[in-house]
Amino acid sequence: MGDDDRLYFIRNMEVFEEKGEDLEYWVTEYEVEVDSFFGSLCEYGPYQLVQWDTSIDAKGRKRSLCLIVKEAVFPDGSKGFKTAHKKGFYHGGGITQELIALASLYFRKRLKLLGMVRQNDKPLRIKLPKQRIDEALISGESHLFKLREWLEKIRKLEPTYHQSYMFAVNLYCQALNIIEDRPDVAYLNLISTIETLCQDTDVGEVKLSDVDSELAKMVGEIKDEDLRNRLEKAICEKEGLIRRKFVKFILDHVEGNFWGVSNSYKDGDVRPDELEDLLNKIYKQRSRTLHNGEPFPPYIFSSPQFGADIPMGEWTVVGERKWFKEDYIPNPHFFERLVNHVLKVFVERHQVK
């Protein structure tokens, strides 16, 4: 990974231990919502978590704690975005998120960071307008009479698909309900929606060299042919087939009406000839997130610029981490629209004759 892979609160704490308070820093206070009773206080280096509401009421009543953070303004080793790179440290949050998440885990209680209330002894509350990750979900007018035709198609769906299809639909609906607040989890749900239905997709013969060329070279050095073949088959089944099924299933279920007019594409639009590559990137991101603990890139948490399907900038930087254009995955609203389309086409393709 990067030059310093330690959590941010540890790095900041060590700056104070080294220099005392003979450095430039700011003190920020945050409101933390809880629904259980907390007593006393915690002071750990430049951090304090203290009671704000002191009343003892019924269980489940929402009350507040106050998190106080002293943060060095320019700690040693902070070189800015110019040194950010593809392997830089990034977990999707900062000092406050680290402390609240770790406290929640330790106490097995719900702690929710609400926002800043004071900085450097001056009241300061910042309330940002609610972002719309997927504007289409609240736009336009829906006519209820059209639902009848859709339900009739569901009625004619081949019974062998009823259970898996309904589970996929439930995953999709869960994604819709959280896409504004947790677009990363919504993204994972949308990927799982497709995984639920794609398992029987025929992807033909898969070679290890297609999955991982470097690994194929190493396996090729095994002299025992039978062992070499069995190992290659096992790796392909584990590493390559699920992603290939995911990609092929979607490509097989995308019809022309999903795309706009071919001569109307603009910067930020996903084009048909880009889709296969982007789907592979989406699934690889899913694997890195679930298996390596690598968060989704930060741009998926913001309203897409000009409603773009995919970020338009050449790169994105947060802290020590840098994402380049060739690594971008589509914004959540594009993938949600794609999954919606695929689910509907699937029903059309599997009607009882």
Residues 6 or more apart in contact with residue 95 via CB below 8 angstroms: 8, 9, 12, 47, 69, 71
Q: What does the pLDDT average to over 87-97?
A: 85
CA distances from 321 to 3, 4, 29, 122 (A): 11, 12, 27, 32
β-bridge partners, 125: none
* Residues 85 and 2 sit within 8 Å (Cβ to Cβ): yes
Question: What single DSSP character describes residue 59?
Answer: T
With CA atoms as reference, report the closest residue to 2 among 86, 94, 93, 80: 86
Alpha carbon of residue 193 to chain centroid:
15
Residues 6 or more apart in contact with residue 151 via CB below 8 angstroms: none
* Residues 211 and 204 sit within 8 Å (Cβ to Cβ): no
What's residue 240's pLDDT? 59
Q: How does the average pLDDT of the chain come out, rounded?
A: 88
Task: Give the model confidence (pLDDT) of 170-188 as tens digits.
Answer: 999 999 999 999 999 999 9
Task: Give the model confidence (pLDDT) of 261-297 as tens digits.
Answer: 666 788 899 999 999 999 999 999 999 999 989 999 9
Backbone torsions φ then ψ of 203, nearest 5 degrees: -110, 10
Both tokens of 145, joined, read: 């009479």
Task: Give the model confidence (pLDDT) of 63-73 as tens digits.
Answer: 899 999 999 98
Task: Give the model confidence (pLDDT) of 17-31 as tens digits.
Answer: 988 878 889 999 999
Q: Which residue has the higher pLDDT, 163 or 211?
A: 163
Task: Give the model confidence (pLDDT) of 247-256 as tens digits.
Answer: 999 999 999 9
CA–CA–CA angle 125, 92, 4 (5° rounding): 115
Both tokens of 340, joined, read: 């919606």
Q: How far apart are CA 332 and CA 324, in angstroms?
A: 18
Both tokens of 128, joined, read: 């940002």
